[in-house]
Amino acid sequence: MPFAEWPGSLPQEMLLEHTHGPETNVVAFRPQVGAPSLYQVGDVHVRYIRGRVRVSDAQMDTFLSFFRNDLRNGSRRFNWTSDSFDGFTLRLQFDDQEAFTSSGMASGWMLNLNLWVIREVA
């Protein structure tokens, strides 16, 4: 099954928030008693990016349809080619804890996206 593509009717560039921290490749098993045990889950180093785009009401409807229907509420990966990624195509997946937030503005919405970079496609 091919990966979904970021809709062309949505903004293609986002204002990135640059934060730094360790790559996530460790999970914790938290027993009911005692300290948690940490396990490395792989050697692939994924990175986390946050950014925001300003969208109109119609674009917000497009985004919600893409998120809910094409990505099955953010559980599926998708490709996005953007100048924000130096023109590269990245395979992304929404964060499972907080995929996105939106806040209403006078003329549309500010959409904050929380994404995991799975890999560089092209």
pLDDT per residue, tens digit, the chain (122 aa), is 589 999 999 999 999 986 655 556 677 788 888 888 877 766 656 688 899 999 999 999 999 999 999 999 999 999 999 999 999 999 999 998 999 999 998 889 999 999 998 888 87
pLDDT at position 37 is 84
Q: With 0-12 CB in 10 A as exposed, 13-18 as middle and 19+ as buried, what is 7?
A: middle
Collapse the DSSP code of 96 into the 3-class scheme (helix H, G, I; strand E, B; otherwise coil) and give the result: coil
Give the residue extent of every domain in the chain.
Answer: 13-120
DSSP 4-54: EE--TTS-S--EEE--------EEEE--SSSPPEEEE--S---EEEEEEEE
Residue 65: its H or E element: helix 57-65
What pLDDT sits at residue 106? 85
